Structure 1
Amino acid sequence: MGLFIGIDSGTQGTKGVVLDGESGRILAEAYAPHELIEGEHGLREQDPAWWVEACRSVIAALMDSDGVDSSAVRAIGVSGQQHGFVPLTEAGEVIRPAKLWCDTATAPPQCAAITEAAGGHEAVLKAIGNSVAAGFTASKVVWLKDNEPENYDRLATILLPHDYLNFWLTGERRTECGDASGTAYFDVANRRWSTELLDAMDPSGKLLACLPELIDSDQPVGVVRPELAREFGFGSDVLVSSGGGDNMIAAIGTGNVVPGVVTASLGTSGTIYAHSESPVIDPQGELAAFCSSTGGWLPLVCTMNVTVATELTRRLLGLDTGGLNALAAEAGAGASGVMLLPFFNGERTPALPSATASLHGLTPSNYIPANLCRAAMEGATFGLRYGLDVLLRQGVRPTEIRLVGGGAKSALWRQMVADVFGCPVVRPVVEEAGALGAAIQAAWCALRDGGERTEIADLAARYVAMAEGGTVPNPGDAARYADLYQRYLVLDRALRPVNG
């Protein structure tokens, strides 16, 4: 079957793997970090040239690895951080740094203005299946129009981060429905751009012409440009698959391509999502009604603060990751009454973009490092449990949680998720779910392009395996956490007037 490259371009860096299509083994892995532009009022940006530099470095390292024959590469798949805004001129030049998913500088005024212009929340939900959430791409485009009109006048193409890497690889300006559904100007039920939302963003009609061509998830964007093929030692016909947003591609990499599987990610932000064969629209707008990158749908809930909370606490106390875990374990369930609402970056679910984090239940005896570590871990987990409640409200019933992300490496945190969620937890053998999922999608695309009607579920079953020895809920701690989670909800509701 040949070799397939999977690239996962995230906020912190780019990861890559080489998948042997015949044996299913990962032959090589590589990583390159990204810089981040941070500023006041929630500004978070990156120069897309950094993604290209990192991607080029990763592919070169993969091709230099022992046992990898670059001439055997058949296709590349790219996963990218969702919701980012890459503005291009007609000539394909980047106009300014890309605003990222976590950039909240655009959130309050632009989201409200778009929603009002589109006829209000219910009209928006009817048009696209989602609300105009803080962090989605739409508000970033309107921010450019409002704050940098000269740059907006030069705007000819709007790409998402993974689209931009595909553009670099192939020269083609195309996208697919999974990543497109996180823009807030895409109709997820009918899989088309929403003229209603685009007109609300700019009634001149300019924006529709700025959007890339939509392709199906099993279609190639194009072939690798000749100069890049020569640089990496590829053949002349290496395909680039449609790719997708990081959550959609990680779903593939965890085998979450059939109903009944639920994936949760303990990363910088947190996500919890499931596969569906039909659109799942939340009337309250808390669930992101995304399309998948496999031709189905991916109802998803995102929280903004997971390892954000633990990393800030770790640095504050001068600990390494092992030290934080050890102290959190020492504290025990409930952190002796200390509770953290971990809204350091605001919050998406519930929709509290201006919220701040707060500690509660402090006394002279419980205000100790161990309880702060435990409270950071528990607060982030309670936030994700709120997301699970949103999915449960829409009829999603998990039989197990497939856990990924940096936090999933902690045995303590895996046990906590099992106890708080009341559900067994398993981990994929391959931790880089995004990169693996991108490689699997690349294989799917290459096989279909060659005339084989292979199903993505069959490939996922072949290439995705779960580690032995999953984690089951501890009855005592699960009961304790059920009470603590109710306290977390009461505290959150009480502070909504302040955080909302």
Structure 2
Amino acid sequence: MHDGQALVAGLDLGTQSVKLVVYDPASREVLATQGRALDLIAGADGSREQHPADWLDAIRGCFAALDPALRGRIAALGVSGQQHGFVPLDAQGAVLAPAKLWCDTSTSAQCGPIMDAVGGAAACIAQAGNPILAGYTASKLPWTKAHRPEVYARLAAIALPHDYINLWLTGQRWMEHGDASGTGWLDVRTRTWSPALLRATAPDRDLAACLPPLVEPDALVPVLPAIAEELGLSPDVRVSAGGGDNMMAAIGTGCVAPGRLAMSLGTSGTLFAYSDVPVVSDTGAWAAFCDSTGGWLPLICTMNCTVATEQVARMFGFATREGDAHIDATPPGAGGLTLLPFLNGERTPDLPLGRGVLAGLTPQT
């Protein structure tokens, strides 16, 4: 370790960018931030995908832009990642296809059959705490079998986005309970994989063999020496369990005790609260997720938040930062014109095939 107070780094793999922050826990100061934009592969069928290799390139770029003296003082690194993504890996850990993301609605037709195989949505909730929604990881597996059979045949391991980054950093596979609860396969009450949901998703194979071990929130794994050298880090760096972006946001905002409620407005919009007992909706009105501290994180997510403002700006030919000026230049209420912004389909309410609607148009609008 280089001279100076030990620092920690946070790495966030978002939908639109990779972000890196270096923090001094002694002075409670953020010392540096870096970010790199990511492209989204969007299809007319609702598919939303990214190449995991692009994630790694963005991470390399973030670290390369840091002051080498700061890099050398980093003692620990934690990864936050977009939830629900499906990274298919072969037996050697190589990526077999682009990762299908949380906002991918092309798998909506695969949700019903999974739930039907366990007796319907209510039975699914009784088994694992959540229904199977289009965004969750589970439906991406039968979609892959139907549309990418060569990938399904070679599939040996499944990683969530943040798991894949951890694998690259450490050479080891694991998953923590918060992010795992967004797969649709975790029984959130017991924090164990649900045999019924695994069988329902892949009756022709042992799906449990494709999933990594589950670890506790305080797990620490050493970085691979070759990766430490590539990124300019000390070989003594430890990588934490990390977690899904919402679970990490809960920790960052102090939403780790009963009575706290946090809202996050990003590509998606989420509202979540901490509980020290499972909070399951019999109707699936909210996501009954685990958090990443040993508790639970009941959560509501809308798929169209800042992505809607960005897409509207693109459609009408202005930059997002110019939006406020356009709003200020028009009277309140927009003459009764209303936009239902389900441009990517929607998760709350559960309308994965939903579309945006512009209502209230008149000849004078």
Q: TM-score range by the shorter chain?
A: over 0.9
How many angstroms apart in 2 are the aligned matches of 1:230 and 1:323?
A: 42
* Counterpart secondary structure, 1:272: strand
> For each residue in 1:432-475, what CA deviation from the matched residue of structure 2 results, as whole angstroms up to 9, or x when unmatched?
xxxxxxxxxxxxxxxxxxxxxxxxxxxxxxxxxxxxxxxxxxxx
Conserved in 1, the CA contact under 8 Å of 2:63 and 2:71? Answer: no
Q: Could you tell me whether the CA contact under 8 Å between 2:72 and 2:233 is conserved in 1?
A: yes
Does residue 1:48 correspond to 2:47, yes or no?
A: no
Q: Distance in 2 between matches of 1:339 and 1:30?
A: 37
Q: Does 1:12 align with 2:11?
A: no
| Counterparts of 1:71 and 1:319, CA distance in 2 | 42
Q: Which residue of 2 aligns with 1:315?
A: 314
Secondary structure (helix, strand or coil) at the match of 1:350 reads coil
Once the two structures are TM-superposed, the CA of residue 330 in structure 1 deviates from its matched residue by: 4.2
Deviates more, 1:172-181 or 1:252-261: 252-261
Given that 1:88 and 1:94 are in contact with CA atoms closer than 8 Å, whether structure 2 keeps it comes out as: yes
Structure 2 residue 21 is the aligned partner of structure 1 residue 22: no
CA 1:332–1:278 in structure 2 vs 1: closer, same or farther (change >3 Å)? farther
How many angstroms does 1:42 deviate by? 0.8
Give CA-to-partner distance per residue, 1:141-196, whole Å, 9 cap, x none. 11112222221121111000000000000000101000000001111111011111
SS in 2 for 1:247: helix
Aligned mates of 2:51, 2:231 — CA distance in 1: 23
1:486 matched residue in structure 2: none
- What amino acid maps onto 1:255 in structure 2? G
Q: Number of aligned pairs?
A: 361
Deviation of the 1:69 alpha carbon: 3.3
Measured after TM superposition, the shift of residue 71 of structure 1 is 3.1
Which is higher, the Rg of structure 1 or of structure 2? Answer: 1
Distance 1:157 1:63 in 2: 36
Q: Equivalent residue for 1:116?
A: 116
The answer on whether the counterparts of 2:74 and 2:233 sit within 8 Å (CA) in structure 1 is: yes
Show the counterpart of 2:334: 335
| CA distance in structure 1 between the aligned counterparts of 2:196 and 2:346, rounded to whole angstroms | 27
What's the Cα RMSD here?
1.5
The correspondence of residues 236-315 of structure 1 with structure 2, limited to 5 A, is 236-315=235-314
Alpha-carbon distance, 1:332 to partner: 5.1
For the residues of structure 2 that align with 1:151 and 1:323, how far apart are their CA atoms?
44
The answer (yes or no) to whether the contact 1:18–1:62 under 8 Å persists in 2 is no
Note the 1:119-130 alignment, pairs <5 A. 119-130=119-130
- What percentage of aligned pairs have identical amino acids? 53
Shift of 1:333: 4.6
SS at match of 2:138: helix
Using the alignment, how far apart are the partners of 1:331 and 1:283 within structure 2?
44
Matched residue, 1:219: 219
Q: 1:346 touches 1:355 (CA, 8 Å); kept in 2? A: yes
Match of 1:452? none
Residue deviations 1:297-316 (CA, integer Å, cap 9, x gap): 11111111112322222223
Matched, 1:162 2:166: no
Contact 1:16–1:62 under 8 Å retained in 2: no
Structure 2 residue matching 1:199: 3-state secondary structure:
helix
Whole-Å separation in 1 of the counterparts to 2:157 and 2:52: 14
Q: For 1:187 and 1:39, how far apart are their aligned partners in 2?
A: 32
1:140 to 2:115 alignment: no
One-letter identity of the residue aligned with 2:253? T
Query: Aligned to 1:35, what secondary structure does the other structure show?
Result: coil
Output the amino acid matched with 1:323: E
Query: Whole-Å Cα distance in 1 between the matches of residues 269 and 151 of structure 2?
Result: 33
- Pair 1:86 & 2:90 matched: no
Q: Contact 1:63 / 1:232 at 8 angstroms: preserved in 2?
A: no
Amino acid aligned to 1:10: G
Partner SS state of residue 252, structure 1: helix
Structure 2 residue 64 is the aligned partner of structure 1 residue 60:
yes
TM-score, length basis structure 1: 0.70
**How far apart, CA to CA, are the structure 2 residues paired with 1:330 and 1:297?**
44
The structure whose residues are more often helix, as a share, is: 1
* Residues in 2 aligned to 1:175 and 1:324: alpha-carbon distance in whole angstroms: 40
Question: How far apart, CA to CA, are the structure 2 residues paired with 1:332 and 1:267?
Answer: 27
CA distance in 2, matches of 1:237, 1:362: 62
One-letter amino acid of the structure 2 residue matched with residue 93 of structure 1: A
Per the TM alignment, residue 341 of structure 1 is displaced from its structure 2 partner at its CA by 1.4
Check conservation: 1:85, 1:161, Cα contact below 8 A: yes
Greater fraction strand:
2
Partners of 1:17 and 1:62 within 8 A in 2: no
Cα contact 1:286–1:351 (8 A) shared by 2: no
